Structures are given as structure tokens and as C-alpha cells.
Structure 1
Amino acid sequence: MGHDDLPTLELAFPGPERDRGLAAIRSGEKTAFTGLLEIYRHAGREVPTAGQRFAVLDSEGVPAVTIELVEVRVLPMAEIDDAFAIAEGRGYADAAEWRTEHEEFFGGDGVAEFLGRAPVIDGGTSVVAQRFRVVDSVTS
């Protein structure tokens, strides 16, 4: 199955944040990411499962990397541990720093615009914590 046959995945919003995330995936530094459960529900999407593959899109909307999920957990933000925070490949020192950054991102204008309202973001907020492996990378 090629990139074009897979469901797509967009990390963050297009631009520098997405570009850094994609570079971290390609380097092997990023092996995990987190989604807000409320976004899945609002979009009418099922929570993914281990074994599913996705084409990760770059900032231009072009498939850049194919990943396969190896672990998917739904849990409160407060239960994200240091190892998972570090696996996100964004330079987080620990779970506390991860929580601060994710509370800011999930509570930001982009998410509020998508949901049509500002979500309540705190330690009890449910997130979808996903670990993955790179299956294929498109080089340009």
C-alpha cells in the first residue's frame, strides 16, 4: 500500500511547528504524538488502533512519511509520563513541561476555532497517546 492509499495524518498546524515535527520523525527523535480526544469526537473519527498506518502530511499537504501505530492509549493528560513526553521528540525535559505545552496548544485559538468553542484543558482532559514506527519516508 503506497502513501496515496493511506489515511492521512496532520501534526499540529501547517508551518514551522509541523515542519519541526516531521523532521523529528525522519531523524527518529519523534516516536510518539498526542491528540485531544475531543477533536476525534468532534470530527466524527474513531480513535485509531495499533497496527494502523498513516501517511503523515507536510505543510504543503503532501505525504512525506508513512508511520504504523504500535501503541494507542486514551488517558488523562496527568497520566502522561516522562518517557512518553520525551518520545514526542519536541525537546520536552519531562511530563510537566509536556503538559504545560500541550495545555497551551490544545487551549489555543486553532483548536477553539476547529471545535467552535474553547475546550477545558487540565490534567483530567482525555488525550489519545500514540507511539509509532516509521515504515517509509518520501525523500524530495
Structure 2
Amino acid sequence: MWPRMDGLRVLELGTPGELRTRLTALALSGEKTATAGLLALDYHAEGEEVEHVGEHLILAADTGGRAAEIEIVRVELTPFPAVTSEFAQAEGEGYRSTEDWRESHRRYWSAQGYEVGDSSTVVCLWFRVAPFPRQYMTTRAAEFAGVATLHGMCLCLWC
């Protein structure tokens, strides 16, 4: 089961540490507007339902706190080999091709102990950062997003 915060499911991008920090920063900056999960590993094994359009989730900071609130704007369940270049680009991680995307994700999920095959179903999520009260924007999250802060207060246009 996924963690919950303020009654919402928590989305943790990547693994804790440098990867999560980088992916969260990309999401906060708007460069990353999509993410992928495996239906079997990230949903069925966790006892979770697939997100739905309009659902809000908490985007986790690497520290375990709240980096942002996101809104799901599109959901597609896709066989692993059929993930589109549109989706790969929306992930914002600089994939040069869908094959590049597949190789990277195959390595990532393999490191998690799951071997991806042609019949593996990928949950393709598109999201946007949703506005939220300024007290939730941490100085660290603002710095990663390239947002100015003053005395620990966020000066972004979202708050």
C-alpha cells in the first residue's frame, strides 16, 4: 500500500536519493509532466488502484515530506513495447527515442527485482503541478524548482 498524506495518495518518483531529487525537481519545474509505473509491480503488488483523471496526489520530496500536489490529467495502460515517443518525451528525462526510454526503464525495474517483458503493462500517467498553500512549498523544493525564496517563503506563481 502506498503512503498517504493529508488523505491523498503519495507519489514517489524513482528511488530515494539523487534520482528522486532530480525527478522531483524536473516535475516542479514543469519539464517532467509524465511518469510510468508497472501495473503488476507498482499497483497489483501494492494493492492500489490505477489513478484516474482529476485525482490529486502528493508528490513526495526526497526527505519524505511534501514537495507538491499534482493532478492527474491523463492515464493510459499500454503494453511495454507500445509506449509512445510522446510519453517518453513528457517524462522530461531526455530520452532520445522510445528504445532509449525502454532500455532505461527496463534497467530501473530490473534493479527493483522485476523483469519487464513484452506483455508487461505500463501505467502511463500525465500530470500537472496543482496550486497549493504556500506553507507546503519547502525552501528545498523551491530551490530545486528554480523558484526564488525569501526568508524561507516560496515566491513562485503557484502559491
> TM bucket by the smaller chain?
0.7 to 0.9
The separation in 2 between residues aligned to 1:94 and 1:87, in whole angstroms, is 12
Aligned residue identity for 1:121 = V
Greater than 6 Å deviation, 4+ residue runs: none
The question of whether the paired residues in 1 share the 8 Å contact of 2:37 and 2:122 is answered with yes
Among candidates 71, 85, 90, match of residue 88 of structure 2: 85
| Distance (Å, rounded) in 2 between the aligned partners of 1:58 and 1:14 | 9
Q: Deviations over 1:54-88 (max 9, x none)?
A: 01111110010111001111111111111110110
Contact residue 86 and residue 92 of structure 1 kept, 8 A? yes
**Aligned 1:20-99 pairs, distance under 5 A:** 20-39=22-41, 40-99=43-102
Corresponding residue for 1:124? 119
TM-score (norm 2): 0.77
Which of 8, 11, 19 is equivalent to 1:9? 11
Count of aligned pairs between the two proteins: 130
How far apart are the structure 1 equivalents of 2:31 and 2:103?
20
Q: Is the 8 A contact 1:30 1:89 kept in 2?
A: yes
What is the alpha-carbon root mean square deviation over aligned residues? 1.4
Which runs of 5 or more structure 2 residues have no equivalent in the other structure?
A: 140-159
- Structure 2 distance, partners of 1:50, 1:65, is 18
Secondary structure class of the residue paired with 1:70 = strand
Higher Cα radius of gyration: 2
Deviations 1:17-37 (A, max 9, x none): 101101101111000000011
Q: Which amino acid aligns with 1:16?
A: E
Q: Relative contact order (C-alpha < 8 Å, sep 6+): which is higher?
A: 1
